[in-house]
Chain A
Amino acid sequence: MTSIASARRPVPAPRRAGAGLRRRWLSTGRYVFVLPALLYLVLFMFYPLVYTFDLSIFNVNAANFFRGGAEFVGFDNYVTYLTSPTFLSSLAVTLVFTIGSLLFQHAIGWAFALFFNRGFALSGLLRAILMVVWVLPAVVSASLWRWIYSGSFGLLNAVLAWFGIHTTQAWLVDPHTALAAVVLANIWVGVPFHMLLVYAGLQGIPATLYEASSIDGASRLQRFWSITVPLMRPVVITALLLGFVHTFKAFDIIYVMTAGGPAGATNVLSISVYQLSFDYFKLGEGSAAANVLLVIPLLLSIVYLALRRREETAL
């Protein structure tokens, strides 16, 4: 586009066809801006996802992966995976991990947000310091908590000894405590994020609402139930829905802490996908497992999008 062409634009009447053409060029021009991003997602995300389905209906394994010639097996991989004893126990472990993490992350996040929302000196700095926990690489948090949970000289046992409980429990090694220990570490990581979301929501409630209702004689608790709770509904729905999907797919923090052990006690679905595909190199069955893993997040995404349409979410 030359300067003359641009200068002509505000005079549409006599050059109707030209202007229309130009407008069309402009709108295609806009699509050109989106194109690299869309192509990128198609090539590196959607194609791989479709390819997973392709892999899942063939008997792909270490013997035929590089040489080719995997045999078509239909839905056999799905049947094998869904009827294996690992599947149901992994699903149960994943749900306990997800719901356990999420409820405490959100509740403690709320407590912090309400506390910080009272507004005091240094509150901004303190909130920022809390966020450091959340941006830490998962591998770092995981290796740190391995040390905290260590049996003989771990921090947790030292703190318990302080309260008079003397134990040399190795929390991650015992199948009875490993899952709870992993959940606790994950709660620690996730609380600041829920605090951030809830705090941003609380800050968005106009102060005048509280002022008006306190003039009307409402108590602090009444104000919380009649103003804060209903207005925070979209934030809570968003935090819980997105939090569920993000926690459900967690992999690195658990993998580094326990790799799914001991005895499958922390073997979430994502780890079972990894083990099938990369430890046993059964890529066909691993792909079937990966597609199964996708079902719950997909359903929740649909719920999320529907709620988003009705503007019942905060993001």
Chain B
Amino acid sequence: MTTTSARPALTAQARARRPAQRSRRTWHLTVIGIVLVAIYIFPLYWMVTTSLKTEDQLFTNPPTWIPTRIDFSAYLDTVFGNAQMMRSLANSAIISVGSTILTVVIAAPAAYAFARLRLRWSALLLLPFLLAQLLPTINIALPMFALFSQWGLVNTLPGLILADTVLNLPFAVIVLRPFYLTIPRELEEAAEMDGCNRLQAFLRIVLPVVRSGLVTVAAFAFVMTWGEFTFGLTLATKQEVQPVTVTLNSFIGQYGTQWGPLMAASTVVAIPIVVLFVVFQRYITGGLAAGSVKD
């Protein structure tokens, strides 16, 4: 936690001690950086170009590094023309939005209480949330399959929302808590003086102040849920409720070495996450350093 809280001040400091001439002297580092990052993300370029190549450009030796003709037929056939793919994209959207809302609604008051409880209790109660992040997903998925079978929640979207929230909740509470710690108690006391009760003070005064924390947690919960695979694989055996990650995995078996369609499907699964990341980048990386979790 210390690392992130110290961050904004220090970056400002770092910026201050870096005069304009220094950035002129470090242009070669920028060039090296661009080359390194380009090499590192080359596999992503490869994924996208593969999905856009015509069959004859796909299987060449040496490979076609830059496609000369662009072909969208892989997208039309395997994604937009494929009922199962479209349905599972919709399922994933429903599960991700549902779990994001549930996570925020439960985590926001909990993190607030943790920030306001006496330290001893807060540390003790936080413990299960800390440990929960370290559990292998399969350890929850297996008994949950048995329990959800009894409760009628296997092969349902609500069942998947409930399961995925288990993964998001501990992270959300831990990431949100420091945001509340920055709020002065006087703010809530003033609200109570004005006649708000504790709940009203929380909803009207406190929550708006921690908006950026809520955005971090929501963005992160969406990213995690969209990419979630283990619960999808174990709790959704019927195609109708499968999230898109499970459908993509079954495509791999189905399409074998038809890499064009497979990379088109992979690209489509990646796009919402990349877009979300570009929009909320600042929030997500900040939250990551604080919570340090993902499967």
Contact = CB atoms under 8 A, between A and B. Distances in A.
Contacts of A248: 136
Contacts of B281: 128, 131
A314 B33 contact: no
Interface residues of B, number: 114
A249 B136 contact: yes
B285 A153 contact: no
A37 B269 contact: no
Nearest to A147: B259
A48 B230 contact: no
Interface string A92-130: 000000000000000000001001101111110011111
Interface stretch (B3-11, B66-74, B79-87, B208-216): B3-11
B146 A132 contact: no
A203 to B, nearest CB: 5
B129 A121 contact: no
B2 A204 contact: yes
Interface string B27-38: 101101110110
A38 B128 CA distance: 9
A73 to B, nearest CB: 16
Contacts, number: 330
B285 A196 contact: yes
A132 B44 contact: yes
A252 B229 contact: yes
Nearest to A185: B43
Contacts of A304: 134
B204 interface: no
Chain B binding surface SS class: helix
Contacts of A270: 136, 138
B3 A144 contact: no
A2 interface: yes
Interface in A144-170: 144-148, 150, 152-153, 155, 158, 161-162
Interface residues of A, number: 107
Contact of A120 (B4, B30, B202): B30
Interface in B118-144: 125, 127-132, 134-140, 142-144
Contacts of B284: 131, 135
A36 B109 contact: yes
Given A36-B109, A38-B125, A144 B46 contact: yes
A209 interface: no
Contacts of A3: 194-195
Nearest to A283: B146
Contact of B29 (A118, A155, A235): A118
A133 B44 contact: yes
Given A33-B110, A37-B173, A135 B277 contact: yes
A2 B139 contact: no
A245 B7 contact: no
Given A126-B37, A132-B41, A251-B295, 10 more contacts: A37-B173, A116-B33, A122-B34, A123-B30, A135-B223, A242-B292, A251-B230, A256-B229, A293-B139, A315-B291
17 contacts: A30-B113, A30-B116, A30-B117, A37-B169, A45-B135, A48-B143, A48-B144, A55-B142, A139-B266, A148-B46, A152-B59, A153-B58, A197-B3, A249-B137, A251-B137, A252-B245, A255-B249
Interface of A: 1-3, 6-7, 9, 26, 29-31, 33-34, 36-38, 40-41, 44-49, 51-52, 55, 60, 65-66, 112, 115-116, 118-123, 126-140, 143-148, 150, 152-153, 155, 158, 161-162, 188, 191, 193, 196-197, 200-201, 203-204, 206-207, 235, 238, 242, 245-246, 248-252, 255-256, 270, 273-274, 277-278, 283, 286-287, 290, 293-294, 297, 300-301, 304-305, 314-315
Q: 5 tightest CB-CB pairs across the interface, nearest first?
A: A3-B195, A137-B227, A249-B136, A37-B110, A33-B113
